[in-house]
């Protein structure tokens, strides 16, 4: 979400990924959060407190080959927020790839304070190799929204929860390039914001990132 409801000040983020030649992968990603997640920290019957939350994403899966050019992915993610209330989410991911093109579908399995059971995020990516060692990226994403709103109702005003079943989520154009022989890679993305489940328009955003492989 480019409107950053989870953090209204600069955040500390990072992650670690491991992949095996067999196709198995696992990883961890974290982020500090600020004021916007205060309501996630206590139940609706408790007094709201301005506590800072910490997001932890644990994921694992397998990427295999059907043919030389055609591949598949199956995996899952656990989203854990601390402190939090009804905010631990479980999600599956299924994907197909062909050469430089891939498409994935991520489906939430339970109702939480940031989503509904059945919410599905569709992402199509084209990442061709370009001249000069650059890699391009073009993405488009959409969301199918479930409408249980079991815990979402506590985070928004009455009537402002799920207003649409399907929405354009974002589009991204980007470039990446290795930093010499350091093992590090920089990337620059421009994100065109789409719409959330309550039809809120997201802002456009520029993201500069640095990754390191070892």
- Reported as a single tens digit per residue, the pLDDT across 160-207 is 688 899 999 999 999 999 998 898 999 999 999 999 998 999 999 999
Domain of 132, CATH number, reads: 2.40.160.40
Domain that holds residue 184: 13-212
- Is 8 a member of any domain? no
- Is 5 a member of any domain? no
Single pTM value for the model: 0.85
- Is 146 a member of any domain? yes
- Is 37 a member of any domain? yes
- Is 1 a member of any domain? no
CA distance 126 to 103: 9
- Is 3 a member of any domain? no
- Is 200 a member of any domain? yes
Token digits of residue 124: 């199509």
Number of domains in the chain: 1
């Amino acid at each position: 979400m480019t409107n950053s409801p989870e953090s209204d000040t600069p955040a500390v983020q990072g992650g670690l990924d491991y992949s095996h030649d067999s196709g198995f992968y696992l990883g961890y990603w974290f982020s500090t959060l600020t004021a916007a997640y205060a309501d996630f920290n206590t139940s609706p019957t408790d007094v709201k407190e301005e506590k800072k939350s910490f997001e932890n994403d644990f994921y694992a899966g397998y990427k295999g080959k059907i043919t030389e050019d055609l591949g598949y992915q199956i995996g899952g993610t656990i989203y854990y927020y601390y402190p939090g209330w009804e905010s631990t989410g479980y999600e599956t991911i299924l994907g197909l790839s062909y050469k430089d093109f891939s498409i994935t579908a991520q489906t939430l399995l339970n109702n939480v304070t940031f989503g509904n059971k059945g919410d599905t995020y569709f992402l199509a990516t084209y990442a061709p190799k370009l001249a000069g060692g650059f890699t391009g990226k073009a993405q488009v994403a959409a969301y199918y929204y479930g409408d249980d709103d079991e815990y979402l109702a506590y985070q928004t005003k009455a009537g402002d929860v799920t207003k649409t079943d399907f929405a354009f989520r974002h589009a991204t154009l980007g470039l990446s390039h290795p930093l010499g022989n350091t093992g590090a890679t920089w990337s620059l993305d421009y994100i065109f914001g789409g719409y959330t489940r309550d039809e809120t328009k997201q802002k456009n955003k520029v993201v500069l990132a640095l990754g390191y492989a070892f």
